[in-house]
Each structure stands twice: as C-alpha cells, then as structure tokens.
Chain A
Amino acid sequence: MAATPKPRVKVPKSAKAGEVIVLKTLISHDMESGQRKDKEGKPIPRKIINKFACEFNGQPVFSCDLDPAISANPYFEFSAKVPESGTFKFTWVDDDGSIYTDEQKIEVN
C-alpha cells in the first residue's frame, strides 16, 4: 500500500440540531516507523502521519499527534455535537510535509 495515501471519511448526511454524531476516518498509509532496516541493513527513514485534525466550520473538533507505534492505515472514530449545517474538514499531516485533506457537508434541520 505504498501508493499515494487515500483518505476516507464517514459523516452522516444530515442530523438534528444539537445531535451527537459519530465521525469515522481511515487513511491508507504505511506508517513506516523509522526503526526497520532494509535488505542491505540500512535504516528505512521514518515516514508517518504525525498529526490528524478535524474542524467544523473552522472550529476545532478533534486533533491528535501520532507517534511511530501507530499501525499502518490509521483509523479514527470520534463523536461531535452539530449545532448547525456546515462542513467538516479533515486534515492529515505527513512527515514529508504532504497534507491530505477531505471535506464532508452535513445538513442540520
């Protein structure tokens, strides 16, 4: 799974105002710890997702730092209360500086 990391998110399409909803995210990533060696005995450089964040209409909902012991393809599941219609924005930061993002709208009625 060495291809470009591919994020996936699961957010309900709609919710009632003030309802607590469950958000799920998964990204394909090797999470190379930096502690392994290749066939020639040279260390394989660390390359992990080191930060994950979720925002709702620009306001932080959830964020965390990741360390090398996290397995490949990190999965997060958390909940949030939605006061109004808007957009959840998800951001993953890679060690090489790449940023992967995904967005999902939710209708609150």
Chain B
Amino acid sequence: MERLKLLTGTAACVVLTGLAIATAMADPVDDTLEIDGVPMITKAPAPEGHPFEEVLSGWLFREAETRATEAESFANPGMFAVERGAEIWGTVEGTMGKSCASCHNDAAESMKGVGASYPKWDAKSNKPLNVELQIDKCRVENMGAEPYKFDDADQVALTTYIKHQSLGTPVKIDLSQGDMQTWWDKGKEAYYTRTGQLNFACASCHEGAMGKYIRADHLSQGQVNGFPTYRFNTAGMVSLHNRFRGCIRDTRAEMPKAFSDELMALEVYVTWRGTGLSVETPSVRQ
C-alpha cells in the first residue's frame, strides 16, 4: 500500500512538472470579476512609489474554477464564515452585557467601507490596529470580554463578516495618521529583507517572480485585499497573519508571532501595495 502511494505520488509529480514547464511564464488572466453581478476592481493603477505600474488582485492568477467559485456568493464556502460572523455580531458576550450590535447596530451600514481602511493608527496604544486587533480592543474595553486567541474560528469569522461589509470598496489606508509612515517604512524593509534557509524575501516571489510558477503554484503579487480568504488547500478560512506566517515558514525562517510589531508593519506596507483593489473578502484561492 505504502509503495503504491509512493508510485502515485511520483506520477503526480511528473504531471505537475510537465504543466509547470508548459506554462512557466503564464501571465495573469485577462478577465473581469463580478460577484453576484457587482463589478470588482482587480486591476488598479499603482500608488506613487510602487514598484509596479498596476496592482493586480490574486484572483487573476487562479484557475478558472477557483475564479468562478468566488464570482458567485452562493458557491463560495467562505460565506459560511460570513454567516457565522453575523451570528457573533448579534451575540451578547462579556460582563457589560453587550454585543457588537448593541453599539454598532446594523453592520451593513455601520461597517460599510470600514474594512477597506485598516490597518488604522491607534493613538492610545501608539500602534496601528488591524480589524482583528480592533475587535479585541472593543471586546476588552467596551464589552468586558476576553480578547480572542489568535485564529480562533470566531475571530476569523467576525473579521470576515466585518470586512465583507466593504465588498467592492477600494483599499485605501491613511498613512498620515500618527507614526503610520514609520511603520510603513519598517514594513517595506521587512518586505525586501531576505530571510530563512531558502534566503527569500517577500519580494523574491511576489515582485521579482510575479506571474511565474514556483512548482505548481502561480505566483501573484501577494495582495491582501481578499483576506480572510477561503482556501481549497485547507478547506477553511485563512487569516492574513496565518498566511504571513505560512509564507515565512516556507522560507524556513523563524516565524514572528501573529500581530507582532514585525507583522503589523508588514500588514501596513502590504496593504498599501494593494491600494485601489476592491475588498474581496471572503476571496477564494487555491
């Protein structure tokens, strides 16, 4: 049995290698994304100082079936997380007897476009906050509830729900607030710093080799406008910091903690790199 599995594995490898050679220089597809008929911006002119002329959504780099799954919310399994998030939104938690809805009412109105502008500067903690950290801040300060553990299924679901209220809104973060520019600078430095036994920087794959294949994987610009994203790979939702850590692990480097200063700086910078792309949460990827 074990031998049979090995043989099957080898056969699969040969097929994949063949594919990779045939389309080794494949560019992103020329296609337009409409989710339930609503157009999404998957190509946008890059902001000043950006290495590319055009920023491209990861959607353009995926297979036709994956793209079709995202284009119809009924077929998108990420919508299960959105539904769960809506339940949490209305659920009372903590010592103050409040739910998200107690203060923010209908998320469709109060959270519309909000997710497209995170990370945002928080003067009190003197740091940028992403949606996950903003939720935790709200839970602790206004609800008397515990902050979520990283990648708790409910943390991912609520983040997905909140970002989904910005579906279609172009990503735009405000770098003029507080020290956001300093965090952007730190994030940029991290993006271009080679690390790990494989000696890769983010830019090695997502800038230098964008559009090429790394084995069977079609390298995109590494945009974050669709996070949290539904991945067929794990058949579940993947948060941004989970993805950051996964990428860093693959370079065989030590992984910084989720929401650490290093990864928050990277989130600020990488989010800026996707300026102008529609929020696609929950996007569907391979």
Contacts and interface: CB of A to CB of B under 8 A. Distances in A.
Interface stretch (A36-44, A70-78, A94-102): A70-78
A24 B236 contact: no
Interface residues of A, number: 15
Interface in B205-249: 232, 235-236
A8 interface: yes
A38 B235 CA distance: 17
Nearest to B230: A73
Contacts of A6: 80, 83
Given A6-B80, A28-B80, A73-B80, A1 B236 contact: yes
A3 B153 CA distance: 11
A24 B75 contact: yes
Contacts of A26: 74-75, 77
Contacts of B83: 6
A10 B186 CA distance: 48
Residue of B74, B84, B153, B236 with highest tally of chain A CB at under 10 A: B74
B49 to A, nearest CB: 40
B234 to A, nearest CB: 9
Interface string B41-79: 000000000000000000000000000000000110100
A10 B80 contact: no
B77 A10 contact: no
Contact of B235 (A3, A8, A10, A72): A72
A75 B75 contact: yes
Given A1-B236, A72-B236, A73-B235, A24 B80 contact: no
A3 B77 CA distance: 14
A3 B75 CA distance: 19
Contact of B80 (A1, A31, A71): A1
Nearest to A3: B84
B74 A24 contact: yes
Interface string A68-109: 000111010100000000000000000000000000000000
Given A3-B84, A71-B232, 7 more contacts: A1-B80, A1-B153, A1-B235, A26-B75, A73-B80, A75-B77, A77-B75
Q: Give the 7 A-B CB pairs with smallest separation, nearest first.
A: A72-B235, A73-B77, A28-B80, A10-B74, A71-B235, A75-B75, A24-B74
27 contacts: A1-B80, A1-B153, A1-B235, A1-B236, A3-B84, A6-B80, A8-B74, A10-B74, A24-B74, A24-B75, A26-B74, A26-B75, A26-B77, A28-B77, A28-B80, A31-B235, A71-B232, A71-B235, A72-B77, A72-B235, A72-B236, A73-B77, A73-B80, A73-B235, A75-B75, A75-B77, A77-B75
